[in-house]
Structure 1
Amino acid sequence: MTHNKSQERFVNPYNFVPLEEKCERQEFKQGTLTGYLECTLETLTPLFIPNTSYNHALHKEKEPKDGDHLSYNFYSYENLSHSGVKKDALYRPVIPGSEIRGAIRSVFEAAFNGCLSQVNQNKTLHRRSMQPKKPALLRKTQNGWEIKECYRIILNTDPRNKNKIGKYGTFIDIKKLKEGQVLYFSEMNKHKKRPTIKHIITDEIKPKKGFWKTGYVHIGEPCDTKYHESLFVPKNNKVWELIDNQEIELLKKVLDKYNMNNKDDNEHAGYKEYRKIFYNLMDREPIEEEKDIFIPVYYSEIKNEKRFFSPAMLSQEVFNNTVGDLLRENGGYQPCESRDLVCPSCALFGLISKQTGQSLASRIRFADATITDTNDIYMKPIVLDELGEPKPGTVEFYTIMPDGLKGKQKKYWTYDYTKEGSKSFDLDPKKLRVRGRKFYWHHEPKYLENSKLKRMRQRIRPLKDGATFTFRVYFEQIAEDELKQLQWALDFNDLSSAHKIGRGKPLGFGSVKVTIKKLMLRQIDKNSGSWILKDQSIEKYRMEHSTKSMENVLKITRFENGLEDKISYPKVTPTDYAKSKPNDAASHQWFNKNSNNRKDFSQVLPTIEEELDEKDKRNKWLKVLKK
């Protein structure tokens, strides 16, 4: 794969509204306004919200009804799991109030400097590293965890070499090997750069005669074209070194991630045997006689400190720094934790803190949106193409380049370290900023009409564009400024901007326009002394000024943005289509190549402003990479 950029431009489906310098929190105060806003919601592109009561509603005959093949009808109040109910019927569609609430809160937070309320502060950040790691042995002693550097010999497990010596030496049956097993062997230097095994003994009794070396078996994940395993041989000139327990915790997280990714896959076992041995070591109280119980491990170095342990040479790296660390060190944008000191968003929408156990009730409520006209509102069932899950480990998209790297020719960083040439350096979280709040660009939807269901593809029945709903937003004891902010978060004071809700937002689905039709405020009747609801002009409660954050929100929420035909996931163009495979053009190939083997990032995500600039910022645009 070449590292040259083609001239073909693409726009990533999402971008970020930047954070301000600091999240301002104030003492919580109630206002005096109570009432509701009556609104309409119009679909500008097809919209889909699944009725999850039954996940095989639109299956065709003979399509498997299992957890990998899913199809959904649009959301309604009908429980499709009941027997006798027609699963694929055209029921009256409903948009849950919670769906609308989430979109409005996202805009409110971005426009009015709220915290990042939905962020999981303790979520493990990880990234696949294409830089080969070094082999070592790991053991647990009374002093703590220790490693010793090794060299690696490739074991020949190719059955085609059963009766001969292959390029990796003498054949050994994979069925006779197990993780961490001791082997005794003699080398032959047929290949100067790659020692190979001439004689090998698979039992654990070391021969009394002859010169035999000791190695430890490491078994990787299975692969159709894989015909070898590894033998880790301790280097005699290296000593055992103590390591920090934090690095062991990161290895545990790496193994747990492998297990989670492959928990239902028997072929790729998620290093189950390796995890079992590792957890046995973790639970074991070490005694002097047991310090020769080893487990093979790969590692990379930063400032000569051993870290980023993994069972694979090319593997995921799990980082020490979390999103919560970054938010706390950069303006305090972590979710609010106290009901007494809250950001503007939590003051209105409420909060529940997992950290402190405190909560604050919401002062607004979104009712479900009901359809106004049910004539010809549904599309025929279609299939959504694969949707990528959020990958905050891609720092070149989710974070801003650390100040210390600006101006340098080679620029590579993670959440824990930066690289300059071949050396790695710890990264202070104060020097790394998250880009902000994620928003999706509006564009024409992309879908498949007559495709078969696959593991990552789902059949759905969306609503057409042009469908109209009505809903209400109830509020209680809010201030006048809060009502103005809520109004702006609903309709932007701008006819050209729209929200995104529902499933398939990266593919262009879910663009909706909200319009405020009526404002009703509760007042005291002077004659009777009772509470009454009175119609008020919404114009009195419209925002009359704009901030930089509000302007950035308007830029990315504009429905006609001029980028519609350029929006797609990162992609790679094969230079030889005849020999290319489906995986060759997958999005992860672009990220793998863009990091240039962990030496530098060729491209980083442009800002919203840079994407919209047709002249001066073209050198910032993302380009398709060629394979």
Structure 2
Amino acid sequence: MGKNNFAENVATAPYNFVPLNSTVISSDNDSSVITGIHDRYDYLERLTGYIECKLETLTPIYIRGGLTKEEVKAKKEAKDNSNFFSPAGQIRIPGSSLRGMIRTLVEIASWGKFGFFEDRNLYFRGFADNCKNLREEYDSQMRSYDMESERTIYKMLAGYIVKEGFKYFIYPAEKTGKKEKQFYNMKIEEASEEIKKIGKKRENYNYYKLKDGRSIVVSGPMSNKKDPELSKKHDWVINKIDRNIQNKIEIPEIDIQNYNRDESRGNKVPDLMKLCYDDKEVPCFYVEWLDGENNKRVSFGNTALFRVSYQKSIRDHIPINGIKNKEKIDFANAIFGNTFEGEKDSNVNPIAGRVFFEDAKLVNPNNNCLMDEEPPGILLGPKPTSFQLYLEQDSNIVDELKNYNSGARIRGNKFYWHKSGDKWEYKYHDQGNSNEKVKPKKIQPVKSYTEFKFQIRYENLSENELGALLFALKLPEGCAHKIGMGKPYGLGSVKITPRLYISDRSGRYLTLFNGNGWGLAEYKQKDRVLNETVSAFEGYILQNMSPSDKGKASSLWETHRLKQLKKLLEVQKGKNLEKDKKTEYMNLKKFRYRDVLPIPEDI
């Protein structure tokens, strides 16, 4: 394949990534506070108080509300609800959303571990892909080509999935003929006649049990100019089941979970797991393999050229979450807490959080802050299988791209560019689709330039931990946060202005009342104190990061990683890219070329 031209044929997307750090930096707080002693205040060395925040919406924002009791009884789902988050009828931004947004920024700025992610094996089918590496990767597991006979030699096996109790097994199909084949091809015309004999009509994406125990499996329509063998009009025939229990293969639970979470499998492709509830023997094709820990694994599908699992999971592409960093407690976990459920081989005890986010309330609750109801642009789910976008690439030559069986690192934390917020509504004609059924449900966002206020209470933080929190809140001039839904279309841009209050713990217990209120001894700090606290945190991180991460930077925002973050947070930068159409989703034709997504500062 030819080389992509970065100047002309680059990938475009409404998002980009902040690259991973090379090392993880531990929190400076001692283990007695981090591991959960919250029954006393340490007023000599720790800081307690609150941060008062003003939040202004720069674009419309939308956060879906919960269901009412009546809606729950009607068996509605959350996606059916278009109301903005409004507990007790009061419009708010939930504290959980604010907390998640700020935690991610703390994690990045403090050189922490890569946060919450779903560890799983992704699936691919690459027999006709534009990328040579992916085609070869697929062939190595599924097939080869015999030059002498000029025929494809399939490596996959065939059998039947059987559900026994709570477990699933594959019973191989019987082997017949001189070559002891479990399956073979049958011309569509012949297959149609065989299917007629059992009183049924041949349909795509279906299978049929014949009276002699064999099964005919029909895939979807296929035409492939690069591989004439695949374009032949035939169906697959699987021999009858071999009931010898010594040959059956148990499908590991992890492979069942991965199969169920394969979001890229077509809607028309049958779900073999669900079919097992109605059919005691579901025909399938499969391959066996060993993972990095030498465990036996199985990939399976409904036709011979099915989607196969990558042998490396997402976790394998996050080196900073590896063995040497498992016992480290970074700033994000120390401040916000973590149960560490699902952490493989982790001996770290659960950590209680020491920050508490309130819901953001309207400054002027009597004003009408809601826009008219409109359907938003069609939102596409994340496509991590697009390795040219989600993995770091050393080359933009399509044949040299690294996939999930390589040692490439994931790109990092995903952020959406800021946009004007003027084009978030669904444009019927602009979508290039005349089907009214795809029109999304209407939503009612909060208007631009609406003001909210909220507080963040903190307890027993070190100066550097408080600095990390303030660093994530007080962004550089011209930058803004993103929150809520509809980010790809420009919703969710907000500006936060923090004010720091620190509690005098000894003074609190000297005076019970202060005027008509309790004597809390919480005092507003000057901007100088806030800036000094942030500077102390920056100095700690710069001192402890690796030379490769630091480079010649004298502040965190000058490091390579945070330069990319700053670009993504710059409001005007995002608007300029929107105007130049550099942050749009690619159409399918362009997407198939697998152009690489440049880093933020190169766009």
TM-score normalised by the shorter chain: which range applies? 0.5 to 0.7
Q: 1:110 to 1:93 in 2, by over 3 A?
A: same
Are residues 1:297 and 2:285 paired? yes
Q: Distance in 1 between matches of 2:358 and 2:325?
A: 25
Q: Secondary structure at the match of 2:597?
A: coil
Residue in structure 2 matched with residue 551 of structure 1 by the alignment: 563
Q: Which of these residues, 121, 124, 145, is aligned with residue 124 of structure 1?
A: 121
Which segments of 5 or more consecutive residues in structure 2 lack a partner in the other structure?
Answer: 34-44, 129-138, 144-153, 162-168, 176-180, 223-230, 240-245, 291-295, 429-434, 513-519, 539-554
- 8 Å CA contact retained: 1:43, 1:468: yes
> 2-side partners of 1:9 and 1:276: how far apart?
46
Matched position secondary structure for 1:41: strand
Instruction: Kindly indicate whether the alpha-carbon contact (under 8 Å) linking 1:45 and 1:511 is maintained by their aligned counterparts in 2.
Output: yes
How far does residue 114 in structure 1 lie from its aligned partner after superposition? 1.3
Partner of 1:481: 464
Specify the alignment match of 1:82 in structure 2. Answer: none
Cα contact 2:564–2:600 (8 A) shared by 1 = yes
> Aligned runs of 1:17-36 on 2, under 5 Å?
17-25=18-26, 28-29=29-30, 30=33, 32-36=46-50
1:257-336 matches, cutoff 5 A: 257=261, 269-271=270-272, 275=276, 295-297=283-285, 308-313=299-304, 315-327=306-318, 330-332=319-321
Residue 464 of structure 1: aligned partner: 447
> Comparing both structures, which one devotes a greater share of its residues to helix?
2
Mapped partners of 1:129, 1:74: distance in 2: 42
Q: CA–CA distance in 2 between the matches of 1:334 and 1:509?
A: 39
Q: Percent identity?
A: 23
Q: Distance in 2 between the 1:70 and 1:526 partners?
A: 48
Is 1:372 aligned to 2:349, yes or no?
no
Supply the distance in 1 between the matched residues of 2:24 and 2:436 (Cα, whole angstroms). 45
- Does the CA-based 8 Å contact 1:363-1:476 persist in structure 2? yes
* CA RMSD, 1 decimal: 4.7
Partner-residue secondary structure (3-state), 1:570: coil
Verify the 8 A CA contact 1:75 1:93 in the aligned structure 2: yes
Is 1:156 equivalent to 2:189 in the alignment?
A: yes
CA displacement at 1:12 relative to structure 2: 0.9
Query: 1:344 deviation in Å?
Result: 1.3
User: How far apart are 1:442 and its partner, in Å?
Assistant: 0.3
Unaligned runs of 5+ in 1: 58-63, 79-90, 163-168, 183-202, 206-214, 235-241, 282-294, 417-426, 573-586, 595-600, 612-627
SS at structure 2 position matched to 1:38: strand
Within 2, Cα distance between the matches of 1:250 and 1:102?
28
Aligned letter for 1:444?
S
The residue type paired with residue 448 of structure 1 is E
- Asked if the contact 2:170/2:249 (under 8 Å) is kept, the reply is no
SS in 2 for 1:138: strand
The answer to whether the Cα contact below 8 Å between 2:157 and 2:287 also exists between their aligned partners in 1 is no
The aligned runs of 1:399-438 (5 Å cut-off) are 399-401=391-393, 406=395, 410-416=399-405, 427=406, 431-438=407-414
**C-alpha contact (below 8 Å) 2:123/2:262 kept by paired residues:** no
Distance, in Å, in 1 between the alignment partners of 2:56 and 2:482 is 11
Structure 1 position 519 matched with structure 2 position 501: yes
Letter in 2 for 1:570: Y
User: Secondary structure of the residue that 1:393 maps to in structure 2?
Assistant: coil
Specify whether residues 279 and 54 from structure 1 end up closer, same or farther in structure 2 by C-alpha distance, changes over 3 A only. same
- In structure 1, give the amino acid aligned to 2:96: S
Change (3 A) 1:390 1:273: closer
Out of 425, 428, 431, the position equivalent to 1:448 is: 425
What is the match of residue 60 of structure 2? 46
What are the Cα deviations for residues 367-405 of structure 1, in whole angstroms up to 9, with x where unaligned?
11110124242110010122111221211111113x6xx
Instruction: Tell me the amino acid that sits aligned with residue 42 of structure 1.
Output: E
Aligned residues: 483
Change (3 A) 1:106 1:55: farther
d(CA) in 2 for partners of 1:112, 1:395: 27
Range with bigger deviation, 359-368 or 541-550: 541-550
Does residue 385 of structure 1 match 2:399? Answer: no
Map 1:50-129 onto structure 2 (within 5 A). 50-54=64-68, 70-78=80-88, 91-121=89-119, 123-129=120-126
Please say if residues 55 and 71 of structure 1, whose CA atoms lie closer than 8 Å, have aligned partners that are also in contact.
no
| 1:52–1:536 distance in 2 versus 1, CA, 3 Å | same
Query: Residue in 2 aligned with 1:361?
Result: 352
Q: Please give the per-residue CA displacement for 1:312-333, whole angstroms capped at 9, x wherever unaligned.
A: 3554332232222222xx2236
Partner of 2:578: 564
Deviation string, structure 1 residues 203-243 (Cα, Å, up to 9, x no partner)? 429xxxxxxxxx752233699xx998613379xxxxxxx99
Give the conservation status (yes or no) of the 8 Å contact 1:365–1:473: yes
Q: Which residue of 1 aligns with 2:38?
A: none
Q: Taking structure 1 as reference, are residues 537 and 335 closer, same or farther at Cα in structure 2, changes over 3 Å only?
A: farther
Aligned partners of 2:511 and 2:252: how far apart in 1? 69
* Pair 381,277 (structure 1): closer, same or farther in 2 beyond 3 Å: closer
1:4 to partner: Cα distance: 9.3
Structure 1, residues 492-522: CA drift from partner, whole Å, max 9, x if none? 2x12111110111111100000001343433
- Structure 1 contact 179–274 (Cα < 8 Å) conserved: no
- How far has the Cα of 1:180 moved from its partner? 7.0
> What is the match of residue 218 of structure 1?
217
1:256 aligns with 2:260: yes
* Matched residue, 1:506: 488
| SS of corresponding position for 1:34 | strand
What is the distance in 2 between the residues matched to 1:12 and 1:143?
41
Please tell me whether the aligned partners of residues 382 and 449 of structure 1 are also in contact (alpha carbons under 8 angstroms). yes
**CA shift in 2, pair 1:110/1:456, >3 Å:** farther
Structure 1 residues 273 and 524, CA gap change in structure 2 (3 angstroms): closer
**Which residue identity is paired with 2:260?**
D
Q: CA shift at 1:130, angstroms?
A: 5.0
Q: Deviations over 1:392-423 (max 9, x none)?
A: 1211111113x6xx59772243212xxxxxxx
> Matched residues in 1 for 2:70 and 2:441: separation?
10
Q: Is the Cα–Cα contact under 8 Å of residues 10 and 568 in structure 1 kept in the other structure?
A: no
Query: How far apart are the structure 1 equivalents of 2:323 and 2:572?
Result: 33
Higher strand share: 1
For the 8 Å contact 2:113–2:320, the answer to whether it is kept is no
TM-score (ref. length: structure 2) = 0.67
Distance across 2 between alignment mates of 1:520 and 1:301:
57
Cα distance between partner residues in 2 of 1:466 and 1:334: 46
Counterpart of 1:102, as a letter, is G
2:529 matched to 1:540?
A: yes
Q: Say if 1:170 and 1:558 are closer, same or farther in 2 by CA, change over 3 A.
A: closer
Using the TM superposition, give the Cα deviation of residue 111 of structure 1 relative to its aligned residue in structure 2, in angstroms. 1.4
SS at match of 1:432: coil
Matches of residues 579-594 of structure 1 in structure 2 within 5 Å? 587=588, 589-591=589-591, 593-594=592-593
Pairs within 5 Å for 1:183-262: 203-204=211-212, 216-220=215-219, 230-232=235-237, 252=256, 256-257=260-261
CA displacement 1:31-57 (0-9 Å, x = unmatched): 510001111000001000111215999
Which residue does the alignment assign to 1:398? 390
Aligned position for 2:336: 349
